[in-house]
Structure 1
């Protein structure tokens, strides 16, 4: 489930939005790159297709939002004076929202506050602040806690544990904002979307508690709900897949690697939609698995622009003896004093096809219903080597090579890249529960390249992170 928080930054009166009330914001001491003039900011929340029950683990995921803020500085700290308050009304009247709730239309769930004035500039950090679980709120659906999950299996309510989110906010750094920042010039009308990947952000810990480990992205969108959509079919039958289909929307990062911006599950009829999405061009990566556990070979469509439909897209059943491959390994972390240091590491599978590198999501339904990447947390235990924290991991990926083709309005032709896949396991370290603040030096480590042959169980070299916080 990817829940999206839409910040509609309205710098003119040409968009129909509720409750336009102007409140001036002070300018920042670190407003380098900001322009003159003021605009309007309206905050709402939106929600595409979900991984909610009965197929997913949760019937509801409630969070209570107390503020949304933005800063033009990519390095601004928690107490920096340049944070612009986009939703001051939430401070006195926090809003509890079901991230798995029913949208009123294809894209939008609810409004988070009246419009506020905003200084023109290039905003390179966004943060979403949640209520502490001890906060008393009206019409609380969590039986006392401000944030909770409701299990689909039995309807039981469990507190959603927070780390620093209630105090410092869920941060989205410039690296996770489309184009590296959200640029607002005086006199413009713009809308900012925060993509809250709900299901990937919730972890059940060993003690049975549920903890929020936020996965967020942001970018400019349109309030007209421009989308990318299509329908996925089994190539051998011409019918929707009898199983689970995961669709990922990807864009290149600063190094040229395609990273997952959003992901969703196709419906029973094979249809999927991403809405709203930032303006730009994307690659669509599709994985599927039958109800019996046989994985399809991935399909990749490149060069799909906002507002286009990919039509019917085929998935080919795996042709190898084992349709999946398991990659297992160890992640270690230590600080500058060569002692263990806890860090979160997001593990992705990268595959290079036709000289371009894509992120291949995990086979759906193995790790969780819609996990696209795997986030692990290192910890101290007796199996770690001296002076490190560590964690073992296992990733199940499609064994077959990808079918790939370029978008065309007249039809998309997909061609097999290779019979079997070749993967690099990529690890990116983040400060735990920071919402994307990088950790360790270097903060990214890639394994060697592994080409599948007759063996479909791969032992990956250790990813050893050093100089962590």
Structure 2
């Protein structure tokens, strides 16, 4: 199961079933980089992405984004946005970098907008190490699950730092989990647990929760609501590749 990773320090090897192993470096592979969001308790999180850089053993491709800043909170519960799509020389995929603009990154809390300060080294791009083969003619999609709750850090003096925490999802070889908590006012944190691996999210204003990119297997799903509501656990939730498991309505009581 893929774990949460910090762009600047972690290395993650991804194995995509749709990308067959091959030593053939002739031709190109269409690489699409998408972004989705693991919700956080903010009104908006605005990211101003300048470039996406994709590095393979066959060469480097830079895609200029320079578009309207993205409110990443709009892309959750199964929605995503395409950051870049480009033909990359086939071979070994090594690294993906997101380069943010120096300005334009903001968080909105209770209707008030705050600038997000980014690490000084981020001008070269926040880096995601990926080791996988790109096979000529076989499309490759990398879904970046931005964890808003963990990526924004309060400094204690009324300022906020942006330290991106991302989960890289092999969308072609994963499943998803969704459901609806009743009442929505319980506003629980929801955890999908398989073995020692845990993925977390929160419900939205309607009570809905959604986990994209879960590895196939059996999960325990824990609900940790706010007071005075009581916690709840659902066992033996089976996730199947290529499908969405819907738990339906989950009643939370006081």
When the two structures are superposed, what TM-score results if normalisation uses the length of structure 2?
0.72
Give unpaired runs (5+ residues) of structure 1: 3-10, 12-32, 74-81, 134-145, 175-180, 234-238, 319-469
Distance 1:149 1:316, change over 3 A: closer
Whole-angstrom distance in 1 between the partners of 2:186 and 2:87: 47
C-alpha spacing 1:301/1:266, structure 2 compared with 1 (3 Å) = farther
Instruction: Confirm or deny that 1:123 pairs with 2:123.
Output: no
The verdict on how the C-alpha distance between 1:267 and 1:202 changes in structure 2, with shifts beyond 3 A counting, is: closer
TM-superposition CA deviations, 1:297-318 (whole Å, max 9, x none): 5444455123141534868879
Among 119, 132, 142, the alignment partner of 1:192 is: 142
In the alignment, structure 1 residue 287 sits paired with structure 2 residue 237:
no
Q: May I ask how many residue pairs the two structures share in their alignment?
A: 233
Change in Cα spacing, 1:283 to 1:130, as seen in structure 2 (3 Å) is: farther
Q: Which has the higher contact order (CA 8 A, sep 6+)?
A: 2
Q: Secondary structure at the match of 1:107?
A: coil
**Richer in strand (by share):** 2
CA contact (8 A) 1:244 1:265 kept: yes
| Equivalent residue for 1:273, pick from 194, 198, 210 | 210
TM-score of the pair, normalised by structure 1: 0.42
Query: Match of 1:35, SS?
Result: coil
SS in 2 for 1:193: strand
Instruction: Give the corresponding residue for 1:85.
Output: 61
Following the alignment from structure 1 to structure 2, what is the Cα–Cα distance between the partners of residues 284 and 312? Answer: 16
Listed as ranges, the matches of 1:178-189 within 5 Å are 181-189=131-139
Whole-angstrom CA distance in 2 between matches of 1:172 and 1:311:
33
Q: Is the 8 A contact 1:296 1:315 kept in 2?
A: no
Q: CA deviation at 1:259?
A: 4.4
Q: What secondary structure is seen at the aligned counterpart in 1 of 2:164?
A: coil
Partner SS, residue 200 of structure 1:
helix
* 1:128–1:187 Cα change, 3 Å: same
Q: Name the larger-Rg structure.
A: 1
Q: Take 2:43 and 2:114, find their aligned partners in 1: how far apart are those partners? A: 12
Residues 1:308 and 1:285: Cα distance change in structure 2 (over 3 Å): same
| CA deviation string 1:32-59 (max 9, x = no partner) | x7733212234444346x33xxxx2x22
**Cα deviation, residue 240, structure 1:** 4.6
Give the match for residue 69 of structure 1.
Answer: 53
What is the correspondence of 1:114-263 to structure 2 with a 5 Å cutoff? 115-133=85-103, 146-151=104-109, 153=110, 155-174=111-130, 181-222=131-172, 228-231=176-179, 240=183, 242-249=185-192, 257-260=196-199, 263=200
Matches of 2:194 and 2:160 in 1, distance apart?
31
Kept after mapping to 2: 8 A contact 1:232/1:271: yes
Deviations along 1:59-80, one digit per CA (max 9) or x if unpaired, are 221111111223458xxxxxxx
CA distance in 1, matches of 2:99, 2:62: 11
The residue that corresponds to 1:112 in the other structure is: 83
Rounded to whole Å, the distance in 1 between the matches of 2:167 and 2:223 is 24
1:370-381 matches, cutoff 5 A: none
Cα 1:300–1:184 shift into 2, 3 Å: farther
Tell me by how many angstroms 1:126 deviates. 2.3
Find the aligned partners of 1:102 and 1:230 in 2 and give their Cα distance. Answer: 15
8 Å CA contact 1:190–1:221 kept in 2: the answer is: no
Task: Report SS of the residue matched to 1:194.
Answer: strand
Taking the aligned partners of 1:218 and 1:102, their CA distance within structure 2 comes to 15
CA distance in 2, matches of 1:122, 1:215: 24
